[in-house]
Amino acid sequence: MVLANPRMALFSGDGRYEISFEVNRQRIYDEELFMETPRFITSRLAARTALTTQEDPPLKIAGLYADASSQTAAMGLLHDVARNCSALCKLRSDWWSFDALQAAQEREAAARVAADADMIWCAANACENLPECARMWANSWTACRTCRKGSECALVALLRCPAGYIVERSPSWMFLSRMASAAGMELFVQRVDCDCHASASALSQLPLHNDWFPLESRPDRNQVRWYGINE
């Protein structure tokens, strides 16, 4: 992905960015807009508004992506969200790849950023379990947020999967849903149909009913504020 505008500064090769979206650029994401996320940002701003003449700090986003395709989808969606919120605020985002989290130092740094973020994004392949390093990262910031429930934060899950895949049965969905519930966060889920193909064995093992989820870990549809766009 080329960041042509000089205001979009690339921090490092592992995909960490600080981005200002006050300028126009070509869209790289062709799916429908995830319209509920700007509404969350609006309420988040209202919750922290104070009578002051100082400029509000940007909303902080901590993000994680599985691979180059997931990164491109996440950056495109983030651009669309930021464009819809440009009149309200700026967004500051820091991103890590799954590979970067293999290093304990990077994983700890990413967890600290996520623990203090207003929104946490995870762009992953729905058909696969999150790797151990990503689960360790999530468990770290979840523990911090559980200690201070009541501070508004959202978890955005951007899940790529082939057409026909039942994303509600995704291992990624199940894990991220548990994380959001444990930390008292709002969960937004965006499905992205892609050309990726789950292996025949993986698809054949998909259950035909919801009993695939243990009762204690089954995603709570009432807790998922908005699944997709028009549902």
Mean pLDDT, range 13-41, rounded to an integer:
40
Higher pLDDT, 197 or 143: 143
What phi-psi label fits residue 164: left (phi over 0), alpha (psi between -120 and 50 degrees) or beta? left
DSSP state of 210: G
Separation CA 89–CA 85 (nearest Å): 6
User: Can you give the pLDDT at residue 113?
Assistant: 93
Mean pLDDT, range 218-227, rounded to an integer:
41
Mean pLDDT, range 94-111, rounded to an integer:
95
pTM of the model: 0.67
Q: Which of 16-20, 155-159, 167-171, 182-186 has the lowest mean pLDDT?
A: 16-20
Mean pLDDT, range 178-190, rounded to an integer:
87
Q: Is the dihedral of CA 155, 160, 163, 164 positive or negative?
A: negative
Higher pLDDT, 179 or 206: 179
Residue indicated by tokens 């990413």: 110
pLDDT band at 94 (very low <50, low <70, confident <90, very high): very high
With a pLDDT cut of 70, the percent of the chain lying above it is 57
User: Can you give the pLDDT at residue 150?
Assistant: 52
Nearest Cα neighbor of 90 from 8, 160, 152 is 8
Q: What is the pLDDT of residues 132-144, one digit of tens each?
A: 999 999 999 988 7
Residue 189 has pLDDT above 90, yes or no: no
User: Can you give the pLDDT at residue 186?
Assistant: 85
Q: What is the pLDDT of residues 151-171, one digit of tens each?
A: 678 899 999 988 888 888 889
Q: Best-predicted range by mean pLDDT among 101-105, 158-162, 207-211?
A: 101-105
Higher pLDDT, 46 or 189: 189
User: Can you give the pLDDT at residue 15?
Assistant: 39
Domains and CATH numbers, the chain: 9-21+35-41+57-198+215-227 (3.40.50.360)
Residue 95 has pLDDT above 90, yes or no: yes
SS3 assignment, position 92: strand
Hey, how many other C-beta atoms are within 10 angstroms of the C-beta on 148? 11
Mean pLDDT, range 77-88, rounded to an integer:
78
